Structure formats: C-alpha cells, structure tokens
Amino acid sequence: EAQVTQNPRYLITVTGKKLTVTCSQNMNHEYMSWYRQDPGLGLRQIYYSMNVEVTDKGDVPEGYKVSRKEKRNFPLILESPSPNQTSLYFCASRTTGGNSYEQYFGPGTRLTVT
C-alpha cells in the first residue's frame, strides 16, 4: 500500500531534550516536506526537500533541522525543543515528475513540549 508513515504518532517531552520525528514514504517520491498545524493558522511549511541531499527552508524553519540522506526518509529534528513547538506535525511527499503536484500526507505526529 502506498503510504507516508510517521513515528511516533504521539510524543510528550520536556524543554531542551533533543528529539527526532521520522518520516518514510514508499512511493519513490523525490519531494518531501514537513508542516506544522496550529489552530487558526492552518498548515505552515517548515522544511522541504526536492531530492536526496537537497533541502530548503519553508516559512517557519526556526528551531528545526532536517536531513535527506535517503530518498524514502526525511526526519525532522528538534535539537532543543521549546513549548512553542507544541503542535501537530505532518510529513508529505509527492513526485516531481509529470504534472500532478498532489501531496500525500502522513497521519500526523502530535508533539507536546512541557
């Protein structure tokens, strides 16, 4: 089954404790992206990757890191989480070929930073 998976689905952590949220897709998509969803703000793009070893900042990259060493994986790293990073996080992927532009979303990771 074609899908985007994220782990963990729920995470509660404390300020300053480094964490990684994993994202993996099995559709051989070149493009992957991370978003955060907050009430009243919709989804805001954190980082995206056009292909392996190629990443760029979205609209809200502060406090986050990403890496793209393999095509299927795009982990989101919070080196020193703070309470304002409490949010619902979504990973998405799509092909860059053709004319689709349809993004496939993972189920989300709900992060709470205390």
Partner 1 sequence: AQSVTQPDIHITVSEGASLELRCNYSYGATPYLFWYVQSPGQGLQLLLKYFSGDTLVQGIKGFEAEFKRSQSSFNLRKPSVHWSDAAEYFCAVGAPGGFKTIFGAGTRLFVKA
- Give the Cα separation of 87 and 110 in Å (integer): 6
Among residues 9 and 18, whose Cβ is nearest to partner 1? 9
Structure-block tokens of residue 38: 């907050």
What is the phi-psi region of residue 108: left when phi exceeds 0, alpha when psi lies from -120 to 50, beta otherwise? left
The footprint of partner 1 (CB under 8 A) covers 4, 31, 33, 35, 40-45, 48, 50, 56, 58-59, 90, 92, 99, 101-103, 105-108
- Please, what is the minimum distance in Å from the beta carbon of residue 77 to partner 1? 20
Contact partners, residue 99, CB within 8 Å, separation at least 6: none
Q: Please state the closest distance from residue 82 (CB atom) to partner 1, in A.
A: 23
DSSP state of 73: B
CB of 56 to partner 1, least distance (A): 7
Q: Which is nearer to partner 1, 49 or 85 (CB)?
A: 49
Assigned token pair, 4: 């985007």
Q: Of 86 and 103, which has the nearer Cβ to partner 1? A: 103
Q: Which amino acid is at 92?
A: A
